[in-house]
């Protein structure tokens, strides 16, 4: 038997292993994070997201663990709300799904949605925190010497703790006890800023998600069918673009009250027009491509042609637009809160800015500076990521025409 190696020429070049190929998503992520600006923006967004998820464990008047009368208990865990539990479960579920490499992104998204649908009713059914919060309870017990040992959060003040037992700390500038100072109502500014991260993240992602879904459906139908449907869709887009989102939000809040979910819905229902224009343009470009004709010839249903064949190839501009949409939604909520039309019971950065103008028109610099800086950094971070993502997904920058 002749050895195969003997048949090969002695000077035949040895081929090196081909480098592993990357998918579109992996390559886009790599190119996006290649710039220092996008990395810095992502770090800040991760910090805000971490504070939003673990806010009760970072700033809370109730101790995580306390020993009274020889028995240990956890008042902090007992006072967790259903929203706290949902955020914690979803965070760890997303981490676990991210570590599982063999699952596709679509399957991870589907599993995450199932977990959310299952955990939400269970949390509201079984998680029942006390209806009345007495924030100074454990401070009073500590003064009386009844607490044998206790483990507190890094910031031992809840967002809505007005510290009525410590009136001397009201409206105090940054100091060792209150690193960013306090408000005129006595609330610790750093604690309220940490808990306000939830409003910033939720209103940005949920309202933008609503806008993206509507934009994909409307824009995809317009771009694929064209004709009368496209004409009607463009007139519909022009009608919605003529609606001033901020004035509509003010009117809705005046009639229906201050509700975060209503704000999310209004922002999403009035800002989808740009996404629809992007998707329409991409569908018009792709509808006559060979792979689309092949899918139609194979007898695939229209929804499969639209959302499984055309959409994955034309969603790149929408991803970039969504990053700017999140920043815009945060600005809308901050503007409403600054005008005094935001949420009352939940802290937000815009609400704190409104409180920086004290009684008699006095200006309180620390209440204006730190929340204003947080709004600026968050919006700027999303803009940096959006611009870097736009450059990463632009084929002209990679020599592709």
**String of DSSP letters for 99-136:** H-TTS-HHHHHHHHHHHHHHHHHHHHHH----SS--TT
Distance CA 197, CA 190 (A): 11
Q: What is the pLDDT of residue 369?
A: 92
Contact by Cβ (8 Å): 377, 330: no
Distance CA 47, CA 55 (A): 11
What is the spatial order of strands in the sheet that 147-151 belongs to?
Answer: 71-73, 65-68, 147-151
- Distance in Å from the first CA to the final CA of the chain: 53
* DSSP symbol at 188: B
Please compute the mean of the pLDDT values over residues 377-401 and round it to a whole number. Answer: 74
Q: Tens digits of per-residue pLDDT, 291-345?
A: 888 888 888 888 888 888 888 777 777 877 888 888 888 888 888 888 877 777 7
Q: Tens digits of per-residue pLDDT, 170-227?
A: 888 898 888 998 988 888 999 999 999 998 888 888 898 899 999 989 998 898 888 8
Q: Tens digits of per-residue pLDDT, 22-55?
A: 555 566 677 777 778 888 989 999 999 999 999 9
Q: Is the pTM for the entire model greater than 0.95? A: no
Q: With the C-alpha atoms ordered 329, 335, 339, 342, is the resulting torsion angle positive or negative?
A: positive
């Amino acid at each position: 038997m002749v050895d195969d190696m003997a048949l090969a020429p002695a000077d035949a070049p040895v081929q090196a292993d081909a480098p592993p190929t990357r998918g579109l998503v992996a390559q886009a992520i790599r190119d996006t994070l290649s710039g220092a600006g996008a990395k810095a923006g992502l770090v800040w967004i991760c910090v805000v997201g971490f504070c939003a998820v673990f806010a009760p464990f970072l700033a809370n008047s109730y101790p995580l663990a306390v020993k009274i009368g020889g028995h240990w208990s956890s008042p902090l865990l007992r006072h967790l709300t259903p929203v706290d539990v949902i955020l914690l479960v979803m965070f760890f579920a997303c981490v676990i799904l991210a570590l599982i490499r063999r699952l596709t992104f679509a399957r991870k998204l589907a599993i995450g949605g199932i977990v959310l649908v299952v955990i939400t009713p269970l949390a509201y059914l079984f998680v029942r925190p006390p209806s009345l919060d007495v924030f100074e309870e454990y401070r009073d017990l500590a003064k009386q010497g009844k607490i044998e040992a206790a483990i507190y959060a890094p910031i031992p003040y809840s967002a809505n703790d007005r510290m009525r037992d410590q009136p001397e700390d009201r409206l105090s500038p940054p100091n060792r006890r209150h690193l960013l100072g306090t408000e005129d109502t006595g609330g610790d500014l750093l604690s309220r800023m940490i808990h306000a991260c939830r409003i910033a993240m939720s209103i940005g992602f949920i309202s933008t998600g609503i806008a993206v879904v509507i934009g994909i459906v409307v824009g995809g139908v317009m771009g694929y069918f064209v004709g009368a449907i496209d004409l009607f869709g463009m007139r519909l887009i022009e009608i919605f673009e003529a609606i001033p989102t901020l004035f509509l939000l003010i009117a809705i809040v005046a009639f229906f009250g201050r509700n975060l979910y209503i704000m999310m819905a209004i922002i999403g229902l009035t800002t989808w027009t740009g996404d629809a224009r992007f998707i329409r343009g991409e569908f018009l470009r792709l509808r006559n491509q060979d792979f689309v004709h092949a899918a139609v010839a194979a007898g695939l249903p229209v929804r499969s042609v639209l959302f499984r064949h055309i959409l994955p190839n034309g969603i790149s501009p929408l991803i970039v637009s969504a990053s700017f949409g999140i920043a815009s939604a945060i600005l809308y909520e901050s503007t409403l809160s600054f005008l005094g039309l935001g949420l009352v019971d939940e802290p937000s950065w815009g609400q704190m800015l409104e409180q920086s103008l004290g009684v008699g028109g006095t200006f309180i610099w620390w209440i204006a500076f730190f929340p204003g800086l947080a709004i600026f950094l968050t919006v700027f971070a999303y803009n940096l990521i959006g611009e870097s993502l736009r450059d990463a997904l632009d084929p002209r920058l990679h020599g592709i025409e």
